[in-house]
Amino acid sequence: MADLSHLDMSKAASAGSFTPIPAGDYKAMLVHSEVKPTKDGTGQRLALRFIIMEGQYQNRLIFEGLNIVNKNTTAQGIALRQLQDLKDAVGLSNASQSEELHNRPLTIKVAIKDDQNVIKAYKSRSVSNAQQQTNMMQEAFETPAAAPAVKANPFAKQ
């Protein structure tokens, strides 16, 4: 048995929160990936770890697993499509190693399923910026501008 009474636990760092972050789009980066066996041991999943890069949830981790080899061909097809979307979002459509996808900013669309976060979509940051510009332009057109001042016509008869 170890005596723990002399330890000042008030200085211990918090492990952080494991509650899901709200659904939405977040600027993130893939920071770790590895192939692991599926739960039933008959396939392989690509375990991914993303970090949120800014905002209220900066430095929070989001975990995702893609069933890249699975006896269920539908599950495997979905995972391969998601992997291609991830590759496209970081601008490396032809990447052959998952490590090539690391440390490249992208936007992830996060949802909540069974009280945990899941990634529903991967988007490039440039698409997000373009979408923001489109939204700003739409707002500008929808907001009525003040009518320009009318100058007197110097050629008009008086």
Q: What global pTM score does this model have?
A: 0.70
Query: 82-86, 89-93, 96-100, 128-132: lowest mean pLDDT where?
Result: 128-132
Report the alpha-carbon distance of residue 10 to residue 117 in Å, rounded.
Answer: 30
Domains and CATH numbers, the chain: 20-138 (2.40.50)
pLDDT of residue 6: 78
The string of pLDDT tens digits covering residues 37-83 is 999 999 999 999 999 999 999 999 999 999 999 999 999 999 999 99
Q: Which long-range contacts (CB under 8 A, 24 or more apart) does 87-94 make?
A: 88/122, 88/124, 89/122, 89/123, 89/124, 90/30, 90/124, 91/124
* pLDDT value at residue 142: 54
Does residue 155 carry a pLDDT above 70? no
Cβ within 8 Å of residue 37, ≥6 positions away: 43, 44, 45
Identify the residue whose tokens are 């939204």: 135
